[in-house]
Structure 1
Amino acid sequence: MVKKVGAITIGQSPRVDVVPEITGLMGRVEIVECGALDGLTNAQIAAMAPKEQDYVLVTRLRDGSSVKISETYILARMQAQIDRLVAEEGVEGILLLCSGEFPAFTCTQPLLYPQTLLQRFVTTVAQGKKLGVMTPDQDQVAQGMRRWNSNGIGAVVAAAGSPYGPQEKIWEAAETLKSQGAEMIVLDCIGFNQFMKEEIKRITGVPVILPRTVAARAVAELFG
């Protein structure tokens, strides 16, 4: 029996850069997509730009461009989408299409947070290793370092390379992490894809962890 699962991006749906790549890993599920920024104008989205000390998120819009927003502005919109997916679409579970940190949302169905899944997995496999963290934007490096240093892994290094920008910047960030002695790398954004993972692994010669596939396999375990 096919299960219906909601997928919520913090940007705009559909996430044609994410969902088609992971659908095959999820098993027998029907994905219903929506986004926290769906229905908003460019001006409304621009007004959500992060200020100093804000928690910074980077996401993709429907036209393929990327945008930086403050988490504060989208929490209520994400909760509204969760409520709608459960009440109107009848989903049996929800996956957030973002590896950022979020407060607990209210949901009567299982709600999967990629960052939580990622933290538990990486904490298990990276003990005793120097962890390299790749974030989409330089403004996220400090917050990423704080997050990954707080889970007891030990040595953490970070660099910025966006999955939504020139790929050369990703390869440069990979070289930076390699030069800093990273022994394992986590790509801390749902926008990174399988091709990017394989190329970073080739450049660095170390294991690379991809959030979208970690999350997709969790969906398969529950619903597939």
Structure 2
Amino acid sequence: MGRKVGAITIGQSPRVDVVPEIEAILGDRIEIIEAGALDGLSHEEIAALAPGPGDYVLVTRLRDGTPVKIAEHHILPLMQARIDEVVAEGAEAVLLLCTGEFPPFSCQRLILQPQLILRHFTAAVAAGRRLGIIVPDPGQVEQARVRWAGLGNDLAVEAASPYGPVEAIWQAAARLQEWQAELIVLDCMGFNVDMKKEIKKRTGIPTILPRTVAARFILELLS
């Protein structure tokens, strides 16, 4: 192991459902140092971070696999603390394991925000195409419409959690297929490679997966 990248989840680390698929792309050239915004918090403390009316909703999972919803503004200081920790451990860059939108963090190292990477990656191929988005929670649909506005020829957003029954994901993809989507974006780091492959198999629609896009972005920067 020579180079190090910090991976900050908005939930609890380790993210055994996410990081191994990133490591499979990075190989043994780059070490991942994990940290979670909710590490060390009790269930009661985490419950107090739940979104209220008008809050920007984020969906993540705990170490035991339990899915949770949190308000972005509650966890920003926690994320900053974890960023500081992984940089102190030698991380040359910091990857946020979330496709939500965040304000700037204080960091002398590169901070990789999957939402920005994902949007620009999608913009490169979305022109003139009907764009379908799948987000984890119904409370995120409208904020996703705003976030993805302006890309593609038209836009449809469906909700299906990567932390729930997979059948809901296939149903969301089927609705996008019926709508005649020409490109699908899985707008959450929780969606995995198998989910992407199954959607492509069922619909025949090119599907973009944030975690693999981010991993290849890291390789371009650090290898």
- TM range, normalised to the smaller chain? over 0.9
Tell me the equivalent position of 1:41: 42
- CA offsets, 1:146-188, max 9 Å, x none? 1101x44341101011100000111111111111111100000
SS of residue in 1 equivalent to 2:60: strand
Tell me the equivalent position of 2:155: 156
Q: Is residue 135 of structure 1 aligned with residue 142 of structure 2?
A: no
Tell me the equivalent position of 1:20: 20
SS of residue in 2 equivalent to 1:58: strand
Q: Distance in 1 between matches of 2:74 and 2:122?
A: 29
Q: Is residue 29 of structure 1 aligned with residue 35 of structure 2?
A: no
Tell me the equivalent position of 1:116: 116
Q: Distance in 1 between matches of 2:61 and 2:34?
A: 14
Q: Distance in 1 between matches of 2:122 and 2:97?
A: 18
Structure 1: unaligned runs, 5 residues or longer:
none
Q: Residues 46-195 of structure 1 correspond to what in structure 2 (within 5 A)? A: 46-87=47-88, 89-149=89-149, 151-195=150-194
SS of residue in 2 equivalent to 1:74: helix
Structure 2: unaligned runs, 5 residues or longer:
none
Q: Distance in 1 between matches of 2:139 and 2:17?
A: 23
- CA offsets, 1:34-70, max 9 Å, x none? 0000000001111111111110000010001100000
Counterpart amino acid of residue 7 in structure 2: A
Counterpart amino acid of residue 142 in structure 2: A
- Return the TM-score normalized by structure 2: 0.97
Q: Distance in 2 between matches of 1:65 and 1:82?
A: 23
Q: Distance in 1 between matches of 2:101 and 2:26?
A: 23
Q: Deviation of residue 2 (structure 1)? A: 1.5
Q: Deviation of residue 121 (structure 1)? A: 0.5
- Return the TM-score normalized by structure 1: 0.96
SS of residue in 2 equivalent to 1:121: helix
Q: Deviation of residue 85 (structure 1)? A: 1.4
Residues 60 and 67 in structure 2, CA contact (< 8 A), matched pair in contact too: yes
Tell me the equivalent position of 2:208: 209
SS of residue in 1 equivalent to 2:212: helix
**What's the RMSD between the two structures over aligned residues?**
1.0
Q: Distance in 1 between matches of 2:204 and 2:157?
A: 17
